[in-house]
Each structure stands twice: as C-alpha cells, then as structure tokens.
Structure 1
Amino acid sequence: MTPEKQLEKILNNEENQQFGKGRSPGQDALREFRRNKIAVGGVIFIILVVLAAIFAPVFSPYDFSQQNIHNNRAKSFEGYDITTDYAEENCHWYDTPLEWGCTIFFAGSDALGRDLWSRMIYGTRVSLSVGLVAASVSLVIGLIYGTISGFAGGRTDMIMMRVVDFLYGVPILPIIIMMTVYFKAMARRGVSTGVMGVLITLNRSTGGLFFIFISIGALFWLGMARQARGQVLSFKEKEFIEAARAIGAKDGHIIRKHLLPNVIGPLLIIESMAIPGYIFLEATLSFIGLGVDPPTPSWGAMINEGYPTIKS
C-alpha cells in the first residue's frame, strides 16, 4: 500500500475523524460500554425480561390461575387432552396466528394443571414489581433521613445515626418475617376499619404484594440513609453551598436546589444494585409461604411447589 493510500485510510477512520472535536462524558461512557460485549448482552437480557413482565399476556398463552387437573404434572412441550376444551376456554392465543401454542405446555404444568410458562412470565412481573417498589421506598426513606441527619449536624446527627447503628444490630430477616406474619394474621381476621383496613384492602387488590412492599422497603433504608448522610456531608461545605447561605437562602431551598440534585445520582446507582437482593428476598418469603397470596404466581412459590417433584 502506497503512503498516500495509508494516509487516506487513517483520515477516513471514524475515530480519527472524531479526534479533536471533543466528546462529552456521556459519549465516552457509551463508547466504552459498546466495547464491553458482556455488558451489552446483560442489558439486552434485562430489557427482554422487563418486556416480558410488561407484556405478560402477550408472552403467556394461558391464564396463570386456570387449573386443568386432567393434565397435571405435564412435561415440557407435552400436549394435553383436547377433550377438556382447555384451549377454547383458557388460551389467550386461541384463534390467533399463535394458535399452535395452545396445544402444548411450553414448560409443563404443575400439580393443579396450571401452565408453568404462563406462571413464570407473570412471576417475572411480580418479582420486578417488588424490586422496583421496594427500592423506591428504601430510597425515599433513606434519602430523607440521611439528608436531614447530615445537614443538621451536631447532636441531631449523632442521635439519628445512633438510631441507625442500633437498627443495624437487629437481624432484618426475622423482623421482616414477623411483620409479614402479623400483616397476614390481620388480613385473615378480616379487619375492615381504620388504617389497617385500608392496608388490607390495598394488599388484597395487589395479590399480597403491598405488605411485602412495606416489609422490605421500610426496613432496608438503613444503608441508604448512611450513604445519603455521607454525600450531604461532602457537599454541604462546598463553595456553592456557602454562596447560597451568603445570599440568604433558607435551608429548605439549599436542600432542594443544591444538595439533592448532587446527592441523588450516586444514590440511584447504589439502590439499583440492591434490586436483585429485594427480588431474592421476595422469592425467599414466597418459598416459605409468607409471600404473595395464591394464586398470584411468584418464583419462590413455584420453587416450593415444584420441590416435591425434584425430591421424588
């Protein structure tokens, strides 16, 4: 290759064309992200899971709660007895271009003849709902508590942090189990008045998810409170905060306009990394029978239901 051709190839290179133009930090981050094939694959997988949860009726052929005792314990891709008229009555894909999917159970069926594929897809919706809502509750409580503690300083900060330290010494899982047992006991007693009556109504309308939201989100804010306090302490002595005080800005204005916009970014990243833990905890509660109410599907409950089959 002649020197002229080599020079032309270098000048036509996309990266060299961008050289000197300058890229924003976001463009640099996106460029590095695209180079990480594992990260790209992970994002694609997460997007597919989220889409499956959002459009669960599209991806699930059957009603997740419909029982078909004549075809219980069916194996994967095993057909069922047409004489039960199961397809005509319960298949979402019946008389559609996907009608072929109504003659088999993709992932088999459980002891009650319910389609495991449909229950798994709807269980994805339950798990993601718990993860996102619990993370939001934890973020809000921890952010408010930690911001007040860090901004107030002095004795107020010391007392609030000692409360957090004390709660850190209490085992969280037994507390969550006791709270869940209490809420379920109140629901079985049929309390219909007052605040508890409202909570029970909300819990029934969500298939048992509301009490899980409360139990997990209301107890996992401790780490978020510490992180928020640390962020506030690192920012509250900055020059722009001192300048806001110098022009007479009130504390509430400083927190809303100057502290929170700078603090919230790292906290969102930290809380997003905690979502898998919330999903795992919900599955654990459902596995031991303290999760969502039947017939609402949950991954933990499905593992519990299939465990006897594995043993046998």
Structure 2
Amino acid sequence: MAEKKRKQPFGSLRPDVDDILDWNNLPQDAFEPASSAEKESFIQDRESVSYWKDAWRRLRRNKVAMVAMVIVILIGLFAFVGPMIVPYTYDQVISGANNIHPWHYSLEDQAAINAYIEEHTGTANLTPDEAVAQAEAEAEARGETLSPVEAAKIRATAKANQGKGEENVTEKDAAKALGIKVKPFGYTQAELERMAAGESVFPHVFGCDNQGRDIMVRTMIGARVSMIVGICCAIIVLVIGALYGSISGYCGGKVDAVMQRIVEIIYTIPEVLIILLLGSTLKPIFEEFQNSGDGFLQSMVTLLGANLISIFITFGLLYWVTMSRLIRGQILQLKQQEYVTAARALGASGGRIIKRHLLPNCIGQIVTTTFLQIPSAIFTESFLSFLGMGVSAPMTSLGSMCSDALGGLNTYPYRLFIPAAILSLMILCLNLFGDGLRDALDPRLKK
C-alpha cells in the first residue's frame, strides 16, 4: 500500500523551494519550538553599532583622513592656544625688532663679524701706499719691521681690492669666512644683552616684520581669523541651504519649480563683485554706527570691519545654493518612503516631517557638505584679504600677511612663505578630511 503523502505545511511554497525540500522526509519535530539551549547555540549575541560609531570605524581606516584630522587639530591649537602662550600681541610694536630674521648671531659672533667687516672694508678703501703705511705703523706698534716682500704683497693686494668698497663684504660673507653659523630664532640686540645677563626672553620664532611686530603671533591670529570665518560661513550656508532645500523638495510641484528658478538666478551672480559692492556701500553706514556709541555692537563692528561683515552677508545671500540643491535631491528621494507616508497619515505637519524624519536621514550629506564648505570660505576670505577687501587693520589674516610680504619678497621671503604654507596646509587637510568624512558617512560605501 502506497505511503500517504504528507501535506505540505503553510500551503505550497515557490516551485524552486518545493524541489529542494523533501516534505515527506522531514522529522516529526521539525516544527516544534526550539529549546533554550538550541536558541543560545544558534543566536550569537552581537553588539549593536550606531550610525556614528560605524562611521567612526570606517573613518579610522582612512589613514589619509586621520593624518589630515591630526594636522587640522594641531593648526587649531596653534591658532587658539598659541596666542595665550606667546607674550606678544599681534599689534604690538617691539622696540628694535624691525626686520628681525628668524635666526640670530650671538654677541660674540656679532663682534667677530663686525671686526671682520671693518677690517676688510677699511683695507679695500685704502690706496696701495696708504695700505703699506698702515701695515708699517702696525708692525712698529708690535716692535717689528715690515720686510720689502711683505710690503710688496700688501701693495698688490690693496691695488687689487681698491674701489671694491664695503658692498662686497656683507654679514653673510663675513660669517662664512669666519665659519660662524646662525642660531635658530630671532632676538633684538637688547634681548641678546638681557639673555647674556641671565634673563629669560621669549624668542621671535618666525622673526618680525618691518614694523617690529612678531610674525608668529600674527600668523596665529591670522589662522584663527580664517578658521572662525570658515566655520561661521559654513554654519550660515547650512542653516539657509538646508531650510530652503528641504522646503523645495518636500513641497514639490509649482513651489519647487519657482524656488529652483530663484536658485538658478542666484547661480549667475558673481560673488566677488557682490562682496566688493557691499563693502563699499556698507562702509560709511558702519562708520556712522561705530561713532553712535560705545556698546557691544559698536565694538563688534569695529573689530570685524565692513569688509568681513560683507563676506558674511554674501555667504548668506549667495553661497547656500549648492547646499540647497543637495538637500533637495535627498528630500525628493526620502519623501516617498513608507515612514513618511505613515507620518502624514497620522496627521503630522510638513514641518514636523521635515524636522523629525527627512533632515535626520540626510545628516551624512549635510555634515559632509558643511565641512567641505569651510575650506572654500577660508580661501575666499584669504583671497579678499590679499586684495585688501578682507579684515581691517590692525586685525590680521593669512591673506593680508601674504599681501604685505610681497614688497620684501627678495630680501625677506620667509614673511610670505610662512603664512602661505600654513594657509595651503590648512585648506589641503580640511579638504582631505572632508573627503574621508564623506566616504565614512555614506552608507552605500559601507565596508
């Protein structure tokens, strides 16, 4: 008698599954609940990883981004903590520190160099007869007699060197001839004398400019100004761009079409021209406001200046369009998801859906775009400061320091190279870290 075919549980599965499973040979306890021991052996406990923790794990694997992050942190410490350590201020004029190099000679070395220059300069300006007469006088003072051979040599040397003058014997030539090497950091003559007396003096590590201001502390303040401007402009772009883009993407239809046409119009406006026009227009208004009182707002306007405020206004008017388009694209994708439909069905308002459901799911794109906006803002501020349309004197920035250093490029090249190197390194590392942050926060690149 043929064995009765066992009925398949839960109805018929897909044909390919029915072919793989042999329902007739399944054990009797196949569908009984699993015991506690079987559950423990089957289910392996796994630590839940949050979005940010998983992103940090991926970011740590990117060595280039981590190195860039460390350099950015070091530059931040240099800019914000450094001025607290250095005893000089960015606008302090130090007596006798004009055009100090970031290196120095000791007092003994200076005396030897000056003696060498004086000796060779004096010999070069003597006629052959005067050189021989001076040599005979020096020999008589020592109780010696100048021989005819020595006199002939001195006459020939004086004739060869006659007319060359002081310009051929520089401090560098004298130090090279004497085998004297420079020592790191710059000091004024008075500071060297104080050091010789046993007093401790903070060095001018990067030297001083033509007005006697310490270059290192000015570089610190310049880096601080650049980073603050970059962060503030990025926050302005984030707030306006995220708000505008989310409303445009969520509303859609005619509202989206009108808002995107406005974005396209803003794209055609030259940003630098607007900054220049705003700076020249707002300058007399701010000057009148400064003279109206001594309150907190007046002091802030005096500190920032019309040009820097114009940069902030321009970022608020023009630079948010890229952020808004990115957020709009993300919102257009997310608003079709089931949880948005459920929230709308439960009576949630559009503002609540954007704030609680849509924008939090765009957080990776928002953070990445905001961070990459910082080096762009720093470059814009430095470029305008280089042209004289950035921060106002006596406040300094890296761009204005590079502009001031152009006049003495051949004589004092380090005045240009130091701020330019820090500015380039800061922008490069911010971009590299921003790229690594984008890869870490993008779930589609999950490894």
TM over 0.5, shorter chain? yes
The CA deviation string for residues 117-170 of structure 1, in whole angstroms up to 9 with x for no partner, is 000011111011000000000111111111111111111111110011011112
- Matching residue of 2:329: 230
Which of 195, 198, 202 pairs up with 2:300?
202
2:65 to 14, 17, 39: 39
Which residues of structure 2 form unaligned runs of 5+? 1-43, 103-184, 412-447
Q: For residues 85 and 188 of structure 1, do their structure 2 counterparts lie closer, same or farther at Cα, with a shift above 3 Å needed?
A: farther
Alignment match, 2:96: 70
Letter of the aligned partner of 1:50 in structure 2?
G
Give the deviation of 1:30 after TM superposition.
4.0
| Deviation sequence 1:21-78 (CA, Å, 0-9, x none) | 5673655544444444332221111111122223232343311110135321111122
Larger displacement relative to structure 2 (77-86 or 54-63):
77-86
Identity among equivalent pairs (%): 36
Please state whether the residue corresponding to 1:180 is helix, strand or coil.
helix
State the partner residue of 2:432.
none
| Selected match of 1:154 from 253, 256, 260 | 253
Deviates more, 1:72-81 or 1:34-43: 34-43
**By how many angstroms is 1:115 displaced?**
0.2
> SS of 2:409's equivalent?
helix
Cα contact 2:304–2:392 (8 A) shared by 1 = no
Q: Distance in 1 between matches of 2:315 and 2:300?
A: 16
TM-score, normalization: structure 2?
0.57
Q: What residue is the counterpart of 2:129 in the other structure?
A: none
Structure 1 pair 57/288, CA: closer, same or farther in 2 (3 Å)? same
- Work out which of the two has the higher radius of gyration on C-alpha atoms and give 1 or 2: 2
Tell me if the contact between 1:107 and 1:116 (Cα under 8 Å) persists in the aligned partners. yes
Matches within 5 A, 1:71-220: 71-76=97-102, 77-82=185-190, 100=200, 102=202, 104-190=203-289, 202-206=300-304, 209-220=308-319
Answer whether contact 1:137 1:218 (CA < 8 A) is retained: no
Higher mean C-alpha displacement, 213-222 vs 234-243: 213-222
Select between 116-125 and 30-39 the one with higher mean Cα deviation.
30-39
Q: RMSD of the alignment, in Å?
A: 2.9
**Alpha-carbon separation, structure 1, partners of 2:234 and 2:70:** 22
Partner residue in 2 for 1:274 = 373
Unaligned runs of 5+ in 1: 1-18, 88-98
Letter in 2 for 1:43: M
CA contact (8 A) 1:65 1:295 kept: yes
User: 2:300 is paired with a residue of what secondary structure?
Assistant: helix
C-alpha change, 1:85 and 1:67, in structure 2 (3 Å) is farther
Partner of 1:91: none
Any residues of structure 2 matched to 1:244-259 within 5 Å, and which? 244-259=343-358
Q: Secondary structure at the match of 1:294?
A: coil
Task: Give SS of 1:70's match.
Answer: coil
Identify which of 328, 338, 346 aligns with 1:239.
338
2:77 to 51, 59, 68: 51
Q: How far apart, in 2, do the equivalents of 1:68 and 1:44 lie? A: 34
After superposition, the C-alpha distances for 1:193-248 in whole angstroms (9 at most, x for unaligned) are 7xxx9976532244664443223343210101111111111111111010011111
SS of residue paired to 2:285: helix
In the superposition, relative to structure 1, how do residues 75 and 191 fare at CA in structure 2: closer, same or farther (>3 Å)?
closer
TM-score normalised over the length of structure 1: 0.79
Change in CA separation of 1:85 and 1:172 when aligned onto 2, cut-off 3 Å? farther
